[in-house]
Amino acid sequence: MTEIEKLTAGHPDTQSADIVADNIEALRALFPEAFTEGKIDFEVLKQCLGGTVDEREEKYGLNWHGKRRARQIALTPSTGTLLPCPEESVDWDTTQNLMIEGDNLEVLKLLQKSYAGKVKAIYIDPPYNTGKDFVYPDNFHDSVQNYLKLTGQIEGGAKVTSNAEASGRFHTDWLNMIYPRIKIAHSMLRADGVIFVSIDDSEVANLKTVLNEIFGEENFIDTIAVEMSTTSGPKTVNAQQGTIVKNVEFVHIYRKSAEFDRVNRTPLLDGIDSYDTHYSIWMNDDGTLASLSEKMEADPIVGEDIARYGLGGRGGFSVNSLNKLLSVSDSAKDFVERNLKSIARVDRPPVSAEGKSTPVGRWLEFEVDHRSYFLTTLANGTLQALMPLSLNYRMSDDYKPRFGRTVIRGDLWKGFHQDMGNVAKEGEIQFPNGKKPVRLIKQLVKWADSAKDGLILDFFAGSGTTGHSVMQLNSEDGGRRRFILVQLPEVIDTTNTDQKTAADLCDKLGKPRRISELTKERLRRAGRKISAEMPKGVELDTGFRVLKLGTSNITAWNPDVSDLEGTLLANAEHLVPGRTEADILTELLLKLGLDLCVPIDTKDIAGKSVHSVGAGALIVCLSDGITRETVEGLAQGIIAWWQALAPAGDTRVVFKDSAFADDVAKTNMAAILNQAGIKDMRSL
């Protein structure tokens, strides 16, 4: 291959990642003896694998009609691209966040070269298969065109339908939709990455089997049951009639590999909104016990506030009034925070303390298994342990300090029904269908990304809760997490009364009635609100770049056998008419595996517009009219800029093929760049 390589539609650089080719190369590296003349010899491969090959006809696993095709679709590269939309974005030049409008299957394929193995956490809330969910056929041969037809961006084509149970393919349709998307998502995760998938009971079992197959059963972490409603209102009537009503939804959690466990996770905590009055005992330094309420009343500053707010009463200050005092008295808060080790509650003693005794009304320190316990004996002779408030006073997951008990969560997450009452209005966007609380996503991301700097992906973005949550979380803990959201421009159903408010908002904004428009507007509003609440001088990325799925900027070679000469003339220009330099640059970033938020500088050199991507890793000139006479000046200008940038690795320079007046001009350009040390020049 010469130094001048043409980026045509058949070249690997013009497609998304080819997973099949990558898998074959990985297999070749492990078992070269299993390849004969470039083909896999499966008999030899079986011998290499010994007894690990399962050739039984009946195997454990989940099978359905279309599974093989769904797997093949996941492996088929996309020939589409993403088109930049700076006018719909916020802080385009500086943000590291992405909001992508398009079919998530095609978008995931396009993102693979740039982001495979780089995502720390994925959260998705896919359709729950209720019988009304948006379903469309994934077209194997022309998926981008299929997507454009289905979303009304070009005329004619397939029909969008709901997934009715009467179709006879209810679970099959849903599995064929979810399988290839999760298959690709697996490759996007870092070795220490994790995926969270929300689901209800209609597909919870099937989804878990799919995740087991793709991620491996050994990488299953847990399934969380999230309390999303209570047995109240209309549900009470159903429950009284003997119906078991639904209160929970589920979140399956899978890691990419055992690397995930090498970092300690941030504990997930539940807190209480008021002071836990069980913490009513005071542990004096001399081993005697007293009352917390008496100690607080005896303190001259706190005692003054107790009297000021009328909380003393005839019998003196009671711990039952402590919550009221804490809400109005800073001195009381300070008193509690200074004395966390002295304030305690009664708890069960450890089993190893059996047979121990202490004087009534006193406490004694007891050490066992490298832990310290504080023991006391009640008036009735019962041995008990004292638990200091210092052990449980910490920040809960909504970042509010608790004066009382906080509980480390297990896999039952209670209380999120409280968020559901306001979830439709979160982010100032009313779109109740399937919306998840910000608090839920924040806590999942916080648990997954202890380093606070990971890339978070959601390819069923809906109204944008994940992006909102990432920005909010960063504002609270100083994190620098990034997000990538993908949302289909699904038309809002105006016949659904729940969605009418959302449609009216789109009309008010002058935007198409599409869910992706709600995603963008929510991110704008949430970002403004979060930024306004930040202290002055604190930088926070609340912007996002908008990109939209479209057909490639490079015309596909589709010869007319009856008029080859006419076809050749029609394909003299390899680029689609009407596309901008920004469009082409974005496709180059995708196809060459560069970050879509990489900095791009532009400079005029010899009258031509030249772009430096990633501090000189890629240099692109898409201007026309490069003649034999202008080659020298343009080449020397590019070389001077390249030397000033001093990129760490090899640099690739790309030109439009049609920009060169003739082959001599192109050859001269390659020779001059090569002589200066730039070995990789390509044209498209």
Q: What is the pLDDT of residue 9?
A: 37
Q: What is the pLDDT of residue 394?
A: 62
Degrees to nearest 5, angle at CA 42 with 41 and 48: 100
Q: What is the pLDDT of residue 11?
A: 46
On whether the CB atoms of residues 453 and 479 are closer than 8 A, the answer is yes
Nearest of 659, 660, 641 to residue 651 by alpha carbon: 641
Backbone angles phi, psi at 434, to 5 degrees: 75, 5
Q: Can you tell me whether residue 248 is helix, strand or coil?
A: strand
**Helix segments in 406-550, DSSP class H:** 417-420, 438-448, 465-477, 497-509, 515-533
Q: How many other β-carbons are positioned within 10 Å of the β-carbon of residue 628?
A: 15
Q: What is the pLDDT of residue 51?
A: 59
Q: What is the pLDDT of residue 423?
A: 79
* DSSP states along 356-417: ----BTBEEEEEETTEEEEEEE-TTS-EEEEEEGGGT--B-TTS-B-SS-EEE--SEE--TH
Q: What is the pLDDT of residue 675?
A: 95
Specify the pTM. 0.80
Q: What is the pLDDT of residue 408?
A: 73
Nearest of 462, 442, 419 to residue 125 by alpha carbon: 462
Q: What is the pLDDT of residue 133?
A: 63
Nearest of 419, 461, 439, 508 to residue 124 by alpha carbon: 461
Q: What is the pLDDT of residue 607?
A: 95
Strand 600-605, strand 98-101: pairing? unpaired
On whether the CB atoms of residues 436 and 465 are closer than 8 A, the answer is yes
DSSP count for the chain of H helices, then E strands: 21, 28
The stretches in the chain having pLDDT less than 50 are 1-12, 14, 399, 567-569
pLDDT tens, 456-478? Answer: 999 999 999 999 999 999 998 89
Distance CA 480, CA 475 (A): 9
pLDDT tens, 46-60? Answer: 766 765 666 666 667
Domains observed in the chain = 75-268+412-549 (3.40.50.150), 270-408 (no CATH), 571-683 (no CATH)
